[in-house]
Amino acid sequence: MQRQEEYEGFVKPALAAGEEKHGENLNGLYRNLGPEAMEHLSAILERRKKILSPAVASYRDLYSDAEYEQFKEVERFGQQITQWGDYFQYKHFKLPLRSFGAETFLYRHGLDRLKTAKNIGSKAIIDVGGFIADSVLVFRDAFPEQPVYSFEPNNLNYALACKTLEINNLSVSGGEPLIVMENIALGEAAGVGKISAAAGGGARLLEKGKKDGQGVSIDTLDHYVAEHAIRVGLIKVDVEGHEQSFLRGALETLKTWKPVLLVSIYHSYDDFFRIKPFLEDLDLGYSFDFFKGIDGRISTETMLLCEVR
């Protein structure tokens, strides 16, 4: 159970911020939320608090009865993954690695919580932090007619993503409907940088001056969308703590298309508390909700859901 991780990632930064500042941060999260979203946020925060109690010795102690039933469903989900030759399969989805995350294939990044998914129409799906194209499979399943653009800067993951599309009989850059895999990073400004280079994990942009890592080209979503004349309906972003940088490079896209956003906010205390107020301050009419699937992890894969209703 994630006691130390939760302390280091959430409680320790909250203590460093001070009671008054942390209270302001909490107020900013709850501000303008509807009753349902408030309930979802409170449940997430309550689990983060509860996990630190010595009285919580197991997931049965942590979760409510309904949540524990969901947790057992995740266990059953894992038992449904099978291996066939050089690939693994869950239902009709195939991957070259046994990397079927419940957040993707069971909870679909919170897609089922959305109120306006049907309004996306023919507009494109943007998948930022494409990993091995696991989310592409889910998006193609949920939105069978929409183009999907997926961005994965890690060379090894990108090669696996292309393999994923191949074994699922999905065409890249030319099929109908269109799927485009891009081996670049998206950030606040165009340029070059370095990312962590291991396969099978999320690609994280490294600080300037780091000698190790893989070189990578960086673009902004605004430039890419304008260059390719893309009509944007939904953006999912999970880029290992660089979500705020990505969003600053996507402002014109947000203002023009007001797409549905599925934004990871779990990588840092700063992301958890600042991303929602940042988007709110753009005054684009977004309403907000919070989603965290019950999967045995307390904070990982927490998503901010944003849509204009």
Strand spans (E) along 59-213:
82-84, 87-90, 93-95, 124-128, 148-151, 179-182, 185-186, 191-195
Q: For residues 57-83, give the mean pLDDT.
A: 94
pLDDT tens, 255-294?
Answer: 999 999 999 999 999 999 999 999 999 999 999 999 999 9
pLDDT tens, 195-242?
Answer: 876 655 555 565 566 667 788 999 999 999 999 999 999 999 999 889
pLDDT at 258: 98
pLDDT at 107: 97
Q: What Å distances lie between residue 253 and 50, 126, 151, 153, 297, CA to CA?
A: 39, 11, 16, 21, 32
Look at strands 93-95 and 124-128 and give their pairing: unpaired
Q: Do the Cβ atoms of 136 and 105 come closer than 8 Å? A: no
Q: At 274, which helix (H) or strand (E)? A: helix 269-281
- Separation of first and last alpha carbons in the chain: 37
Look at strands 214-219 and 191-195 and give their pairing: antiparallel
Provide CB contacts within 8 A for 157, sequence distance 6+.
Answer: 130, 131, 132, 199, 200, 203
Give the structural domain span for 73: 3-308
Strand spans (E) along the chain:
82-84, 87-90, 93-95, 124-128, 148-151, 179-182, 185-186, 191-195, 214-219, 232-237, 260-264, 286-291, 303-308
Q: For residues 170-174, give the mean pLDDT.
A: 78
pLDDT over 80 (residue 75): yes
pLDDT tens, 21-42?
Answer: 999 999 999 999 999 999 999 9
Helices (H) and strands (E) in the chain, counts: 13, 13
Tally of domains in the chain: 1
Q: Domain containing 23 — which CATH number?
A: 3.40.50.150
